[in-house]
């Protein structure tokens, strides 16, 4: 048996799974951890939490009895994109990592575009505009606001690549995750020395860059002792959570698009060509498929909006559901089903941590609009589901406008595990949505990439063809679709009316009493 392991270092937890050479999942395990928000709009995490969760889940998967440790041929890594892990010359973490949904770097984004010679010039260099979530502005922020600490920084890693370092002792990354740093020459799949020079950043801060299925390192003796993975096992490049998740969903050819409703929401399309959009309306990067590219839109708090509702406004229901052994989300969505489409005129803006696509606005705020005494909890929950899906449609419409082929939409994440939310997605997207036989997302994609890198398959599409197939479809209700089309126009106008107020609210918060 040739077993490969996929590890996904997420924002709220790490998932690890093992598959055989046919793509069958043999064992899986998850471990959760918290995220820190020391100030409004800030988001940080201690990388040691990731390593602890990785050790725990690896030992759980290896101890499940489904295979022998000696069967493990390779490991693939995936993880939350854009985060920044700052290491000193001894490889020690010097501060908590700044995450993808951290919004403190608006001034640094403006500085990057100015140094690059303008937004269009920046996009020509690295395929993307400067966004607060990206890695490069985080480096500039630390350099400016924590200069003493910055003096000791010798290496900057992405979250999954920190796990690679702990597992192998090697500094490395790969092109799909590196695309989200704003420091990669995406067209040529290498670090942009031109932009690094303009930003006065030493190239030695960044690790060597590989293709996603390419072997980047092997498990060290220290990594083996910590995790149980045999020393010498090959570790492939892997992928950022979205490109790796796309592999796990079979999004490896043009025409198939994924809509993933996790903490963030992502609409992701494969493209054989990079293309150029001077406005930078969607995020572009290298795909985890060698030689291919991707285009994606990101909603920062899609499923995260429902998670927030569960944690802050559904505590009693969550406790009751857990006492009965029921998924709390099923309780909430069952309540939402009591309200009809449109929640009787109640809208929800899911901008709880600012927004990326299509507004690129760190000051954007969330909230319900249209509340009346008629509305109750079912309407509020349904509006959350619909608002997150409307936000996803924003990105889908941009992909359509850019003439990227859409022949099939595959849904995954929490939004694909619930019949009501799948129906809402089909009706708001205006297209049938499909689920596949694999639902493990990035960890599964990382394991498939490891199968390719260790010789189980010759190409990434070949691996996906062997392991992935659609199993269920949810059809559009034409009458509900027509209603949502009208409601979507209202939804789109709400941000435009409120964006000035959002900025004023942020200023008030910054000023304090």
Rounded to whole angstroms, the Cα distance separating 257 from 144 reads: 40
Domain borders along the chain are 3-249+438-471, 297-409+486-506
Rounded to whole angstroms, the Cα distance separating 8 from 54 reads: 9
- Write down the H helix ranges in 337-459: 377-401, 419-429, 442-453
pLDDT for residue 41: 85
pLDDT for residue 417: 87
Rounded to whole angstroms, the Cα distance separating 248 from 469 reads: 11
pLDDT for residue 369: 98
Instruction: Give the phi and the psi of residue 7 in degrees, each rounded to 5.
Output: -125, 125
Over its length of 513 residues, how does the chain's per-residue pLDDT go in tens digits? 899 999 999 999 999 999 999 999 999 999 999 999 999 889 999 999 999 999 999 999 999 999 999 999 999 999 999 999 999 999 999 999 999 989 899 999 999 999 999 999 999 999 999 999 899 999 999 999 999 999 999 999 999 999 999 999 999 999 999 999 999 999 999 999 999 999 999 999 999 999 999 999 999 999 999 999 999 999 999 999 999 999 999 999 989 999 999 888 999 999 998 887 888 888 999 999 999 999 999 998 999 999 999 999 988 888 888 888 888 898 999 999 999 999 999 999 999 989 988 898 989 999 999 999 999 999 999 999 999 999 999 999 998 888 887 889 999 888 888 999 999 999 999 999 999 987 788 999 999 999 999 999 999 999 999 999 999 999 999 999 999 999 999 999 999 999 999 999 999 988 886
Rounded to whole angstroms, the Cα distance separating 112 from 498 reads: 27
CB contact set of 225 (below 8 Å; sequence gap of 6+): none
Instruction: Give the phi and the psi of residue 435 in degrees, each rounded to 5.
Output: -110, 160
pLDDT for residue 460: 97
Geometric angle at alpha carbon 360, from 356 and 362, rounded to 5° = 85
Q: Which pair of structure tokens corresponds to residue 450?
A: 């490891």
Which CATH superfamily is 3-249+438-471 part of? Answer: ATPase, nucleotide binding domain (3.30.420.40)
Rounded to whole angstroms, the Cα distance separating 260 from 268 reads: 8
Work out the angle between the directed axes of helices 315-323 and 303-313 (0-180°, nearest 10): 90
The topology under which CATH files domain 297-409+486-506 is: Nucleotidyltransferase; domain 5 (3.30.420)
241 is catalytic: yes
pLDDT for residue 290: 97
C-alpha to C-alpha distances, 394 to 281, 300, 324, 356, 488, nearest whole angstrom: 11, 13, 38, 11, 9
Please identify which of the residues 185, 241, 363, 427 carries the catalytic annotation: 241
On whether 82 is known to bind a ligand per the annotation, the reply is yes
Beta strands at 209-210 and 190-191: parallel, antiparallel or unpaired: unpaired
Alpha-carbon Rg of the chain, whole angstroms? 22
Rounded to whole angstroms, the Cα distance separating 337 from 307 reads: 17
Q: Which pair of structure tokens corresponds to residue 424?
A: 């809402």
pLDDT for residue 62: 98
On whether 81 is known to bind a ligand per the annotation, the reply is yes
Two domains, one topology: 3-249+438-471 and 297-409+486-506: yes
């Amino acid at each position: 048996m040739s077993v490969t392991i996929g590890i996904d270092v997420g924002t709220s937890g790490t998932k690890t799974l093992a598959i055989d050479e046919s793509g069958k999942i043999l064992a899986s395990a998850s471990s959760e951890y918290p995220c820190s928000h020391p100030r409004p709009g800030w988001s940080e995490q201690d990388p040691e939490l990731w390593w602890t969760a990785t050790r725990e889940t690896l030992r759980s998967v290896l101890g499940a009895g489904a295979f022998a440790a000696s069967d493990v041929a390779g490991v693939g890594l995936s993880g939350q994109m854009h985060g920044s892990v700052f290491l000193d010359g001894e490889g020690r973490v010097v501060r908590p990592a700044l995450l993808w949904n951290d919004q403190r770097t608006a001034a640094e984004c403006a500085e990057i575009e100015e140094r690059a010679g303008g937004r269009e010039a920046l996009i020509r260099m690295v395929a993307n505009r400067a966004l607060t979530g990206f890695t490069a502005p985080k480096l500039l922020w630390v350099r400016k606001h924590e200069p003493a600490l910055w003096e000791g920084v010798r290496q900057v890693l992405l979250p999954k690549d920190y796990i690679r370092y702990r597992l192998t002792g090697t500094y490395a990354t790969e092109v799909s995750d590196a695309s989200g740093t704003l420091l990669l020459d995406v067209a040529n799949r290498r670090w942009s020395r031109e932009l690094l020079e303009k930003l006065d950043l030493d190239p030695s801060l960044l690790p060597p860059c590989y293709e996603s299925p390419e072997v980047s390192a092997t498990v060290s003796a220290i990594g083996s002792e910590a995790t149980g993975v045999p020393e010498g096992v090959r570790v492939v490049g892997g992928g950022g959570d979205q490109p790796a998740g796309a592999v796990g969903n079979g999004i490896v050819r043009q025409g198939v698009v994924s809509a993933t409703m996790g903490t963030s929401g992502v609409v992701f399309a494969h493209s054989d060509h990079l293309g150029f959009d001077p406005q930078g309306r969607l995020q572009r990067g290298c795909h985890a498929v060698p030689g291919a590219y991707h285009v994606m839109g990101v909603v920062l708090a899609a499923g995260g909006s429902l998670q927030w509702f569960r944690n802050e406004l559904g505590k009693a229901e969550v406790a009751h559901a857990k006492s009965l052994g029921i998924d709390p989300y099923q309780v909430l969505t069952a309540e939402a089903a009591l309200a009809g489409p449109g929640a009787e005129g109640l809208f929800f803006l899911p901008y709880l941590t600012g927004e990326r696509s299509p507004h690129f606005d760190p000051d954007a705020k969330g909230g319900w609009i249209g509340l009346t005494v008629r509305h109750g909890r079912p309407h509020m929950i349904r509006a959350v589901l619909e608002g997150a899906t409307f936000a996803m449609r924003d990105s889908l419409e941009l992909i359509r406008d850019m003439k990227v082929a859409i022949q099939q939409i595959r849904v995954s994440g929490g939004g694909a595990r619930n019949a009501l939310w799948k129906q809402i997605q089909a009706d708001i997207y205006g297209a049938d949505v499909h689920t596949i036989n694999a639902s493990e997302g990035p960890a599964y994609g990382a394991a498939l990439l490891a199968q390719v890198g260790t010789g189980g398959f010759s190409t990434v599409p070949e691996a996906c063809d062997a392991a992935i197939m659609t199993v269920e479809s949810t059809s559009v209700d034409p009458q509900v679709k027509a209603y949502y089309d009208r409601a979507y126009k209202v939804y789109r106008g709400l941000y435009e009316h409120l964006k000035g107020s959002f900025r004023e609210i942020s200023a008030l918060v910054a000023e304090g009493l």
